[in-house]
Each structure stands twice: as structure tokens, then as C-alpha cells.
Amino acid sequence: MKDTEIAKRGLVLLGCGKMGSAMLEGWLNRGLPPESVTVRDPAPSAWLKGTGVHLNTALPDSPAIVLVAVKPQMMNDALPGLQGMGNGTTLFLSVAAGVPIAKYEALMGEATPVIRAMPNTPAAVGQGITAIIGNAHTTEDHYAQADLLLSAVGEVVTLEDEAQMDAVTGVSGSGPAYVFHMIECLAAAGEAEGLAPDLALALARATVAGAGALAQQTGTDPGTLRENVTSPNGTTQAGLDVLMNDETGLPPLMRATVKAAAARSRELGQ
């Protein structure tokens, strides 16, 4: 990871749970000097203690970035002590779910550069995707720094408007849970057709993982991939006739699922 500004001024990581640890591991693996990182975490893991970062020590006066990875309910306790860094050149990069940019501007000052990000849990294995959006005080350099840090755990996409973040939450933020449940349901359906539980789960898990990898690596439209494995009047078509039903199948169910998650995201952000 080559960013002289971060290496020179330092990076502060507030909170080092699963997401924070995944990102920190990615940065260190990409060559970010551990001495450039200061971590604040009340219950550091054994792994964190062995990374060589500054742990729960004094913060740099004007770090390049403060990455906020604490839980939303801890925000009011974590940020007030950093108000001296607001309204300046320090970028506040937040991965805290449901916390709007206005919240940071209220706590840190209206002129504070803020980028809000929504990663998802596959970041833990470097296969995440993160959507970002900044306020009026973020520059191209700020976006480049955010992209550099967040790309350590997967893809990064930039939104046009913060209002889109609720839909992102419903699709990719909460989406891994939907896929995990699909694996559960596919395995249970296999059991109902006579497969042993372990075998049904192995088949379901590998099928979902392999199909996702095929879609990701080829970049082929998923509709085309679906058609490629569907023979007229064959077994796959018989299953899809159920799954693709516009009234009782997956399309209306998935629309309702994402709508409910996005609505809850809007509620939490108020």
C-alpha cells in the first residue's frame, strides 16, 4: 500500500472488531507500516496486540484519516474526544452502519471531510464490496485514499447520493445473510429429497459459492448464465418455473426483502 500522506501523518482506527480487523490485516499485508497506525479498542484481541500498531496510545495531532469502525451506539462516546481534528484536513471515513454524514458533521464540525462507507461481511476473506459517498468537503484525494484503504478487503463503488446508501444496505450490506439462508434452505430441500444432512449442506454450500464465483469471474450477465444451464423442459426448467413465478416465487420475495431492509436502514438513520 503506497500512500505517503497516510504513512507520514498516520491513520487512526477507532474500533477493531471483525470488520476493523479484516481491514487492518489487509492494509498490513499490502505493506502499510504498522507504526503508521494507531488503534483505539477497549478489548483488543491477541492478534491485534501482535501487529506492531500503536494500541490505545496517544493519537497523532492531525492524522490523514480517522476510520470509524465502532458500533453506532458507541459513536457519541468515541467521537467527542476527537473534535480537535474536525474542520481540518483529517478525513473521517466511517463504516458504522446507519450513521449518516450529518451526524459526523454535527459532532466534528460542518467543514469536516467525511466519507460514509457500507462494506459487507465477505470483507473478512477479501471478497467484500463497499459503497462510499462523501460530503461537500471531500476531495478527489480523499476519495483516492478511501478507495486505497477499502480495496484491501474487496471492491469499492462510489454512489451518486447518500440517499442510495439505504438501498445498498438492503442489497449488499444485508445481502450475505440472505445468501446464507439460501444455502440453509437449499440444503434442507436436499434433505427432504433423501440426502444425508452433511451431503446436502456440502452440495448447497459449494453450489452457491461456485455459482457466485462464476458470475464474478466471468462478468457474464446472470440471466445468460442461468439460460446456459437451462434446457427446455429439463430439470432446471422445472425448478425455475417455481422459483421465477412472479406471484409466489423469488422475484416478489426478494423485492420485499430488500425493501424491508432498506426501510429499516432509513429508520435507524433518523
Residues annotated within the binding site for NADPH are 56
At 270, which amino acid appears? Q
| Binding residue positions | 14-19, 56, 69-72
Strands annotated E in the chain = 11-14, 37-40, 54-55, 65-68, 91-94, 114-118, 128-134, 154-158
- Angstrom distance (rounded) from CA 100 to CA 31: 31
C-alpha cell at 33: 507500516
CB 100, CB 127: distance < 8 Å: no
How far is 36 from 214, CA to CA, in rounded Å? 38
Please give the Cα distance from 109 to 112 (Å, whole number): 6
Helix (H, G, I), strand (E, B) or coil at 233: coil
Return the residue matching grid coordinates 507504526: 35
Annotated binding site for NADP(+): 14-19, 69-72
DSSP 199-225: HHHHHHHHHHHHHHHHHHHH---HHHH
Grid cell digits, residue 92: 473521517
Q: What angle do CA 151, 156, 157 make, to 5 degrees?
A: 165
Angstrom distance (rounded) from CA 8 to CA 19:
24
d(CA 162, CA 114): 12
Question: What are the residues whose beta carbons fall under 8 Å from the beta carbon of 109, sequence distance 6 or more?
Answer: 83, 86, 87
